[in-house]
Chains A and B, each alone.
Chain A
């Protein structure tokens, strides 16, 4: 009786021995596929990216589907993509770092000062920036693991300290760095500027590390249940500390790279980047409570955000609507997942 009352499109339950209608099987398969797309964030993002590209190709055939525009989108993913790798590892471990914008700006300033004021060779200046970022990451790690300060509070405080510190050091920033320092950010390879290639290498490296190495996979155990991870022999503090150091290093790299791309170390660099990165990473499958997420997912989140931003500007959407659209997309992506999971359980 229930089957007769079911609305079109709803699942059909067959009695044992009763022949299953081919249409019903197809409908069931279609429903399963939709549920799978909705529940697997990476698959959902791939579908959304394909749909967005297809839609924009139809709407803006003369401007959107061009190699030059693809290069622009990929370059736009560079900074966020580098930071997203570190943030994803932290989020998997149930931590996050709000100071990355400050580290990024401070590291860029240190790299710029090293190249311009100290006259260091470009590679030494670049490494100075990366090293400075790592050092600031060490401070974050110590605050969280040794002094037991909540990561949110600790990194919110260091964000302020790092921003203040960089202004004390540099004042208005370092302009016109020169001295060959632009080689890292202004070199073109296969039509795309070097920051993208830095990001590509880092994403591939971290995808391997997180999926294949025991050390990084510990993040899942820590994020899932830190106490259980500790009882099973994982040195939780040391591991979390190292993840903060890695986040610092990646922020330093992103800052040194940005200074090279602009030939200027800007004191306001990386403003609001922390929320942008967390948004992309959550969109890519991470959970704020830890234990889940992949680097590939983080990259897809970053790519989708960059693609969406580019598409909206090309489509001439009012910038105020652009903000609303980004928020709605985030809500739908995460909400769809929750909805599908709830339906699946039911």
Chain B
């Protein structure tokens, strides 16, 4: 009887001990953010086409800001071309090195989900930016709401068609056809058109392939195949310049309503010359600065929910919409002036 009581007491003590461990305060609060003791922590950003002009101009500065603000190391990795196999290999290799955190630019392919899962299984804090991988174990998606992006393009197309006195119209799109984020964007576009200007339809969806020449050739063929084409929407960063080139070469500049994703600061000048009506800019600096910050927060155990271990109860937001900037004739001068010399 005495032995049973002793065992029970011991068991309670063990359980209480475990509970105490789980109920500890976040351990990372003891060290101030940016402390030199964490300066060896390395955070890795990985993407396909990792040197895409847009990434160089917008993502790299966001990462650099995070590096400075948090006093850690931030590294860029991934193939410079669109090469899924190389991308997957890079994610694998980087997570094997056990860095403090990894940002995977999702949206290129759903196959990346299993790579993200592998990283999480290795206890490497991993988040996804730019295009979500909702079926993965990623800690957070931080980036653009692509359905909303497409919906906004639809609304702008409706508005500009209406201003041009067009009740009916035909629109072509250029994007990565198989990528989830672009599928969502195209659906958003269609839903907005159906709701707000049902006489305007999408008549062609063609591939971008991160290749301006291919975009130009495909757009030229869309224009020839649809003589009544009234609008073009480019969803990825290489689409806009290719669409503009093809529309200009077809002598339809200003006649076909173009709305596009951003393609660098100089591309904004196409709004000034009237070729493009609206360019959306994703908030890359925001998503990547906060991406590193989220990982830093997680890795250093700075915040907990219910005082539970951060690997048991993920304290990060599940999804963060980094928002969009819409550039039109109304604000292009302001944005160009504000970004002058930003390169």
Contacts and interface: CB of A to CB of B under 8 A. Distances in A.
B256 interface: no
Contacts of A316: 203-204, 225
B51 A167 contact: yes
Contact of A176 (B249, B250, B269): B269
A131 to B, nearest CB: 22
7 contacts: A62-B227, A163-B81, A171-B51, A175-B266, A264-B266, A272-B211, A313-B221
A312 B219 CA distance: 13
Contact of B56 (A66, A172, A264, A306): A172
Interface string B84-128: 000000000000000000000000000000000000000000000
A2 to B, nearest CB: 52
B191 interface: no
Contacts, number: 111
B188 interface: no
Contacts of B224: 63-64, 66, 68-69, 72, 310, 314
A262 B227 CA distance: 24
A309 interface: yes
Interface string A115-130: 0000000000000000
A261 interface: yes
A193 B343 CA distance: 32
B53 A172 contact: yes
Nearest to B57: A172
Interface string A250-286: 0000000010011010111111110000000000000
A212 B238 CA distance: 42
A340 B93 CA distance: 49
A245 B285 CA distance: 43
B320 interface: no
B209 to A, nearest CB: 7
Contacts of A269: 211-213
A75 B210 CA distance: 20
A60 B241 contact: no
B314 to A, nearest CB: 35
B217 interface: yes
B221 A309 contact: yes
Contacts of A273: 213
A261 B269 CA distance: 17
A175 B206 CA distance: 25
Interface of A: 60, 62-64, 66, 68-69, 72, 75-76, 79, 163-164, 167, 171-173, 175-176, 193, 258, 261-262, 264, 266-273, 306, 309-310, 313-316, 319-320
Nearest to B55: A172
Nearest to B205: A319
Contacts of A271: 81-82, 209-211
A79 B216 CA distance: 12
Nearest to B250: A68
Contacts of B217: 72, 76, 306, 309-310
Contact of A313 (B210, B218, B238): B218
A261 B215 CA distance: 14
A193 B249 CA distance: 8
Contact of A172 (B209, B218, B264): B264
Interface in B211-257: 211-213, 216-218, 220-227, 238, 241, 245, 249-250
A320 B209 CA distance: 12
B49 interface: yes
Contacts of B264: 172, 175
B301 interface: no
Contacts of A306: 217
Contacts of B203: 316
Contacts of A176: 266, 269
Nearest to B220: A72
A321 to B, nearest CB: 11
A167 to B, nearest CB: 5
B245 A262 contact: yes
Given A172-B56, A319-B206, A72 B221 contact: yes
Interface in B20-38: none
A171 B210 CA distance: 17
B183 interface: no
Given A69-B224, A266-B238, 12 more contacts: A68-B224, A68-B250, A172-B51, A172-B56, A172-B264, A266-B53, A269-B211, A316-B204, A316-B225, A319-B206, A320-B177, A320-B178
Given A193-B249, A262-B212, A268-B210, A313 B225 contact: yes
B267 interface: yes
B305 interface: no
B332 interface: no
Contacts of B343: 172
A63 B203 CA distance: 14
Complex A-B, nearest 3 residue pairs according to Cβ-Cβ distance, in ascending order: A314-B225, A172-B53, A313-B221
Contact of B225 (A60, A79, A164, A258): A60
A69 B203 CA distance: 18
Given A63-B225, A267-B51, A314-B221, A164 B80 contact: yes
A139 B266 CA distance: 34
Contacts of A62: 227
B308 interface: no
B321 interface: no
Nearest to B217: A76
B333 interface: no
Interface in B182-217: 203-207, 209-213, 216-217
Contact of B80 (A163, A266, A272): A163
